[in-house]
Amino acid sequence: MSDVNTGTPALKQGFAEMFKGGVIMDVVTAEQARIAEAAGATAVMALERVPADIRKDGGVARMSDPKMIKEIIAAVSIPVMAKVRIGHIVEAQILQALGVDFIDESEVLTPADDQYHILKSEFKVPFVCGAKNLGEALRRVGEGASMIRTKGEAGTGNVIEAVRHARTVLGEIRAIQARPAEELMTVARDLQAPYELIRFVHEHGKLPVVNFAAGGVATPADAALMMHLGLDGVFVGSGIFKSDNPERRAEAIVKAVTHYQNADVLAEISEDLGAPMTGINIDDLIPAERLASRGW
């Protein structure tokens, strides 16, 4: 019998590749997970409250009840992700023990550690982490993240921050490609990112892992915009189950990600979806309410 390896970086990153061109949806019940799967989600993110409700209710947001996560795992055949607080090693161990397929070390929950993130390479289960810029993304990859999502401003239904962070990450990648090789160590110093990963970006013109958009995607056009900017797929949180017709909106957003280059299809699927989530103007948020600024 030949050697068999599990939990390797290739397997974790390869798994993330399978979500590309797809939509990962936040769900809080098994029923919502079934709706997401039927709508064509490539994975669901199990959490106790969607970001819009975390904003509204306040308090400390933590890992979900394992019972709820188990119910969601039993309800669907697509992969199930779940969130842990930044730096909460034990929440991550619990999710791994439950058999969750992917862990999101997420700024949407209240951070457990204001200095350090989880050493994700120590786990067999792959991790996705948020990032606002390239340095942050590469620090997370250096810690073992197998997937990056640009942060956006979750729970606002306002795509501006997702666009800002996507343009920042992708623009910084293009800037690094344009630098001569002898400048890369200084680039690594300035971005506070591992040198080897800066060299990877210089050579390949992309992150070493899949890069999804997240935070504030509320319409099919928002989702297509993020693909148009050059991301690999989209996370949708409050945007679906806080809208008038979650089934139709979920289906439309899935199709928008596949056909983001086809405006005729986008026009057709954007029609008559009912009201989107109300949304929040980000200028109205006081700094302490901004989730994207968590993480370092």
Partner 1 sequence: MGPRIGVLALQGAFREHRRHLESLGAQVAEVRLPADLEGLHGLVLPGGESTTMARLMTEYDLWAPIRALHDRGGQLWGTCAGAILLSREVQGAPPQFGRQDSLGLLDVTVQRNAFGRQIDSFTTELPVTGLDAPLPAVFIRAPAFVRVGVGVEVLSEFEGRAVTVRHNRVLATAFHPELTDDNRLHELFVQQCLVPT
- Does residue 7 belong to the site contacting partner 1 (CB under 8 A)? yes
- Does residue 21 belong to the site contacting partner 1 (CB under 8 A)? yes
* Structural element, H or E, at residue 197: helix 195-204
Q: With CB under 8 A as the contact rule, which of the stretches 30-38, 62-70, 234-242, 281-289 interacts with partner 1? A: 30-38
CA distance 51 to 239: 10
CB 218 within 8 A of CB 279: yes
Q: What's phi and psi for 212, nearest 5 deg?
A: -105, 160
- Does residue 17 belong to the site contacting partner 1 (CB under 8 A)? yes
Q: Which two tokens stand for residue 66?
A: 């394992």
Active site residue 151: no
- Does residue 142 belong to the site contacting partner 1 (CB under 8 A)? no
Q: How far is CA 79 from CA 19, 36, 96, 205, in A?
A: 10, 12, 13, 29
Q: With CB under 8 A as the contact rule, which of the stretches 52-60, 94-102, 112-120, 276-284 interacts with partner 1? A: 94-102
- Max CA distance (Å), the chain: 62
**Distance in Å, CB of 21 to partner 1, minimum:** 4
- Does residue 254 belong to the site contacting partner 1 (CB under 8 A)? yes
**Distance in Å, CB of 237 to partner 1, minimum:** 19
**Distance in Å, CB of 165 to partner 1, minimum:** 23
Q: Which two tokens stand for residue 190?
A: 């300035």
CA distance 101 to 126: 7
Question: Residue 145, Cβ neighbours under 10 Å: how many?
Answer: 31
- Which positions touch partner 1 (CB under 8 A)? 2-8, 10-11, 14-15, 17-22, 34, 37-43, 75-79, 96, 99, 101-102, 124-126, 254-255, 257-259, 262
Residues annotated as catalytic are 83
